[in-house]
Every structure is written in structure tokens, then in C-alpha cells.
């Protein structure tokens, strides 16, 4: 059960009625699986899966100083972010540690930000403490968030929200889903084409029913969401990212925009500038593990004498590849694809090779997706 009984998903009863196994996560009871993680994972890869991500924080930041203020905390170039465009970015602290990873969108006269559920209260406090006093922050606590992911997501959702098929990857707009007003972006965290749908919490059951009634769609739990994002090479905050990991160590340098690399001026810039110039001491990499047994978060990367030189941060069995895969932080000298590393888990040694990520190719719909 969850550790905070006052946090209840708008779809809590809906999940339970469909036989979901519920687990505590980010203060909510959330569905980890319905019919089984592997089946749900493969269904999403071949058809369309409906995820409830209403635990995540949806924020509105507005005011004349919002853009400049956000640029002191994010390494993104918001000045070139056009209306309705999304960007993946990082909330940074003064030591270049990642406070959270997030999505930020320019919408008319404000920025819409989606942050992780387990960190949203800390993020809100950090933003309020560090943004100019003239920036207003509204936590949209009365909004639900659904994600429809998979190769048939566009065809399915376009029946209910005509026009969404025209969105390119990392773009969004206002639509209606069966008459319910919604903000819909072509985005997600599975590596598949798909959409994230922000709606009033009171309409969540209606919209979920409409989407799940489509023959291509099944509800999908957190378990498959985790295995899908691992195959896609996408880091999970609190596991692969935290306040002691820098963007360069995490192999997220793409999130530092060109102008910001030359000008700096954001939290943690001195360290990031050094790591851009000289390289980090360690780096997040993908691993293909020999054999069939998966290695899990916390397994050690060891040298020839058995000394710990790195750590696995995510690991599991890939349903798509039918092989164990993992992410780990390793010394920079071992971070090139093809390098062999040794892992230690519960007294047993495993051999693994550093692999380029994603493990499974992304299938985003990039048409018309200018930034």
C-alpha cells in the first residue's frame, strides 16, 4: 500500500476494477501490472498501451521573468522554443547535480512543465526558492495525465481526438477527446510513438474508458513502463539520475543547448564546462549481459582484483531482445561500446559488454518536429 493515504489517483478504482495489482509509488497506490509485465510490454511494442501517469507533477510557470528565471536553473535555450514545442531538460543544482529531469513546453504566455511524481514537491519548493519573485508557479493538482504509447497510438487516438495525427514528435496542442478538453503532446517515455494527454481529473475515467475501449488498446502498468524505458535507453530519476550525477556523466549532454554551452549562466555551469572540455570521470552506459540471468540495480562493476569501480543503476530482462540488459556508471575508460566489464551480484560474477543505447530503436514520429 502507499505511504500517504491522502494521495489517490483519479483512476484508482478504475485500475482495481480491471484487476490491477497495486503497489505504493510516489505516495500513491499505482498499478504495476494487469495481466503480466512481459505481455503488457510486448503489447505496447506491437499495438497501443494506455498508462496512467497522473502521479507526475504538472506545473504552469508564468510572468515576464519566467523565461530568464528558468534559464538560470535549466540548461535549455528557451528563447528559441516555439509555441507548442516541448523540450527535455534538467533541473540543476549549484554543483551541476540533477534535481530532476522534466519536459518543458511553451504554451501561449506561460511554460508548462511535467516533472517526476516522486520529486514534484521538492521540485516545486526548489523552483519557488530560486526563481524571481515575479514568476508565478501553479501546481495543477486537479489535472490527470495519461500516456498512450505504441505503433497504433496515432491511429487509435485520432478517432477520438481528430487532428492529433498531425502533431510531430515533441509538439503539442489543445484538442478534445470525446468532447473533453485536453492538452495533448506527441511524446512519451517508452521509445515508441505516442501521446501524453492532460485532462481534468474529474474527466479521467471518461477519457480512459473511451481510449481503452478501442480494440488496439490495453491498460499497461508501471512494470512494463520500466522495462520499455530501459530498452529505450531512457534514464529513470532516483535510479540512473540523482543530485550527485551531472548531465555529462549521465550522457545527457544533448540537453545542454548550443547557446548555453557557449554562454553558460545556469546552475552548475563551472563543473559542466570542465566536463565538456575534459570529459567526466565516469559515464552512464548500456550493458548487454552474458547469459540469461538479469543483473539488478545495485550490482557492482568490478576490476580484475574485485574492487568496485562502478555500479548498475537499472537492470532487467529485455522482453524484446530476450536477453538481460542494464545501465551502469563505469569509469570513462570503459565507456566505449564493445568494452568488456565484470559485474558482481550476490557473490556471482557476470560478464557484460558496453552497448550503444537505445537497445531497441526509437520509433518516434519526427515529421514536422522542428525545435
Contact 228, 150 (CB under 8 A): no
Torsion sign over Cα 79, 83, 85, 88: positive
pLDDT for position 366: 85
pLDDT at 371 over 50: no
Residues 208 and 308 in one domain: no
Q: Which domain holds residue 37?
A: 12-53+141-231
Length of the chain, in residues: 371
What is d(CA 169, CA 85) in angstroms, rounded to the nearest whole number?
9
Same-domain check for residues 306 and 195: no
Distances (CA, A) of 212 to 120, 152, 207, 223: 28, 13, 8, 19
The pLDDT of 339-343, averaged and rounded, is 98
- Residue 23 sits in the same domain as residue 146: yes
Domain match, 196 and 322 both: no
- How many CB atoms neighbour CB 181 within 10 A? 12
CATH number at residue 304: 2.40.30.110
| Beta carbons within 10 angstroms of residue 308's beta carbon | 10
Whether residue 159 is found in the same domain as residue 226 = yes
Same domain, 300 and 193: no
Percent of the chain exceeding pLDDT 70 equals: 97
Q: Is residue 150 part of a domain?
A: yes
Reported as a single tens digit per residue, the pLDDT across 213-225 is 999 999 999 999 9
Joined grid coordinates for residue 95:
554543483
**Is residue 90 one of the residues assigned to a domain?**
no
Confidence of residue 313 (pLDDT cuts 50, 70, 90): very high
- List the CATH number of the domain containing 214: 3.30.1360.120
Using DSSP's 3-state secondary structure scheme, residue 222 falls into helix
- pLDDT of 2 strictly over 90: no
Residue 177 reports pLDDT greater than 80: yes
Q: Could you tell me if 148 and 220 lie in one domain?
A: yes
What pLDDT does 69 receive?
98
pLDDT tens profile 100-109: 999 999 999 9
In a domain? residue 253? no
* C-beta contacts of 67-74 below 8 A and 24+ residues apart: 67/111, 68/132, 69/131, 69/132, 69/135, 70/104, 70/111, 70/131, 71/260, 71/265, 71/266, 72/130, 72/131, 72/265, 72/266, 72/267, 73/126, 73/127, 73/130, 73/131, 73/266, 73/267, 74/104, 74/266
By C-alpha distance, which of 45, 33, 86, 93 is closest to 266? 93
Q: Is residue 269 part of a domain?
A: no
Q: What is the pLDDT of residues 271-299, one digit of tens each?
A: 999 999 999 999 999 999 999 999 999 99
Question: Could you tell me if residue 19 is inside a domain?
Answer: yes
Contact between residue 327 and residue 285 where contact means Cβ atoms under 8 Å apart = yes
| Boundary residue ending a domain (231, 264, 290) | 231
Query: Which of these, 255, 52, 289, lies nearest to 147 by C-alpha position?
Result: 52
Q: What average pLDDT is seen over the chain?
A: 96
Q: Output the pLDDT for position 5.
A: 45
pLDDT in tens, 218-254: 999 999 999 999 999 999 999 999 999 999 999 999 9
Residue 6, pLDDT > 90, answer no
Say if residue 149 is in the same domain as residue 223. Answer: yes
Query: Would you call 54 helix, strand, or coil by DSSP?
Result: coil
Within a domain: 196: yes
Q: With bands split at pLDDT 50, 70 and 90, how would you rate the model's confidence at 369?
A: very low
The residues with which 172 forms a beta bridge, in sequence order, are 185
Q: Report yes or no on 178 lying in a domain.
A: yes
Whether residue 325 is predicted with pLDDT greater than 70 in this model: the reply is yes
| Joined grid coordinates for residue 45 | 511494442
Statement to judge: residues 285 and 163 lie in one domain: no
Number of structural domains the chain divides into = 2
Instruction: State the cell numbers at 267.
Output: 546552475
- Do 33 and 150 share a domain, yes or no? yes
- Answer yes or no: are the C-beta atoms of 56 and 123 closer than 8 Å: no
* 220 and 344, same domain (yes or no): no
CA distance 261 to 270: 11
Contacts with 306 (C-beta within 8 Å, 6 or more apart), sequence order: 344
Last residue of a domain, one of 189, 213, 231: 231
Q: How confident is the model at residue 1 (pLDDT cuts 50, 70, 90)?
A: very low
User: Is residue 180 assigned to a domain?
Assistant: yes
Average pLDDT over residues 107-134: 98
Alpha-carbon distance values, 326 to 40, 75, 110, 347 (Å): 20, 27, 38, 18
Answer yes or no: do 34 and 155 share one domain. yes
Measured distance CA(233)–CA(240) in Å, rounded: 11
Q: Which of 231, 246, 270 is the last residue of a domain?
A: 231
125-143: string of b/e by CB count within 10 Å (b at 16+)? ebbeebbeeebebeebeeb
Burial zone of 324 (CB within 10 Å; 0-12 exposed, 13-18 middle, 19+ buried)? buried
Distance from chain centroid for Cα 96: 19
- CA atoms lying within 13 Å on the CB side of residue 2: 18
For range 103-120, the mean pLDDT: 98
Amino acid at each position: 500500500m502507499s505511504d500517504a493515504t491522502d494521495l489517490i489517483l483519479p483512476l484508482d478504482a478504475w485500475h482495481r476494477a480491471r484487476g490491477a495489482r497495486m503497489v505504493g509509488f510516489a505516495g500513491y497506490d499505482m498499478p504495476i501490472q494487469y495481466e503480466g509485465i512481459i505481455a503488457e510490454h510486448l503489447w505496447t511494442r506491437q499495438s497501443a498501451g494506455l498508462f496512467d501517469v497522473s502521479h507526475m507533477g504538472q506545473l504552469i510557470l508564468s510572468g515576464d521573468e519566467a523565461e530568464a528565471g528558468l534559464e538560470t536553473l535549466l540548461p535549455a535555450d528557451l528563447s528559441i522554443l516555439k509555441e507548442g514545442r516541448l523540450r527535455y531538460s534538467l533541473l540543476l543544482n549549484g554543483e551541476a547535480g540533477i534535481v530532476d529531469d522534466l519536459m518543458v513546453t511553451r504554451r501561449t504566455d506561460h511554460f508548462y512543465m511535467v516533472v517526476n511524481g516522486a520529486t514534484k514537491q521538492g521540485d516545486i519548493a526548489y523552483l519557488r526558492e530560486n526563481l524571481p519573485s515575479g514568476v508565478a508557479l501553479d501546481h495543477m493538482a486537479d489535472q490527470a495525465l495519461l500516456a498512450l504509447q505504441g505503433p497504433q497510438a496515432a491511429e487509435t487516438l485520432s478517432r477520438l481526438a481528430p487532428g492529433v495525427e498531425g502533431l510531430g514528435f515533441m509538439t503539442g496542442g489543445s484538442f478534445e477527446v470525446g468532447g473533453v478538453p485536453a492538452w495533448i503532446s506527441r511524446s512519451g517515455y517508452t521509445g515508441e510513438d505516442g501521446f501524453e494527454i492532460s485532462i481534468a481529473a474529474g474527466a479521467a475515467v471518461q477519457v480512459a474508458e473511451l481510449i481503452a475501449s478501442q480494440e488496439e488498446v490495453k491498460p499497461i502498468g508501471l512494470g512494463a513502463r520500466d522495462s520499455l524505458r530501459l530498452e529505450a535507453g531512457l534514464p529513470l530519476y532516483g535510479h540512473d539520475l540523482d543530485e550527485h550525477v551531472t548531465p555529462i556523466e549521465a550522457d545527457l549532454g544533448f540537453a545542454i543547448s548550443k547557446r548555453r554551452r557557449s554562454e553558460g549562466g545556469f546552475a552548475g555551469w563551472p563543473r559542466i564546462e570542465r566536463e565538456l572540455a575534459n570529459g567526466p570521470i565516469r559515464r552512464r552506459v548500456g550493458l548487454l549481459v552474458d547469459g540469461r540471468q538479469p543483473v539488478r540495480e545495485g550490482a557492482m562493476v568490478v576490476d580484475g582484483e574485485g574492487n568496485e569501480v562502478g555500479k548498475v543503476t537499472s537492470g532487467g530482462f529485455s522482453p524484446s531482445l530476450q536477453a538481460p540488459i542494464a545501465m551502469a556508471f563505469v569509469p570513462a575508460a570503459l565507456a566505449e561500446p564493445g568494452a568488456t566489464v565484470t559485474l558482481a551480484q550476490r557473490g556471482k560474477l557476470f560478464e557484460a559488454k558496453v552497448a550503444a543505447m537505445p537497445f531497441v530503436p526509437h520509433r518516434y514520429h519526427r515529421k514536422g518536429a522542428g525545435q
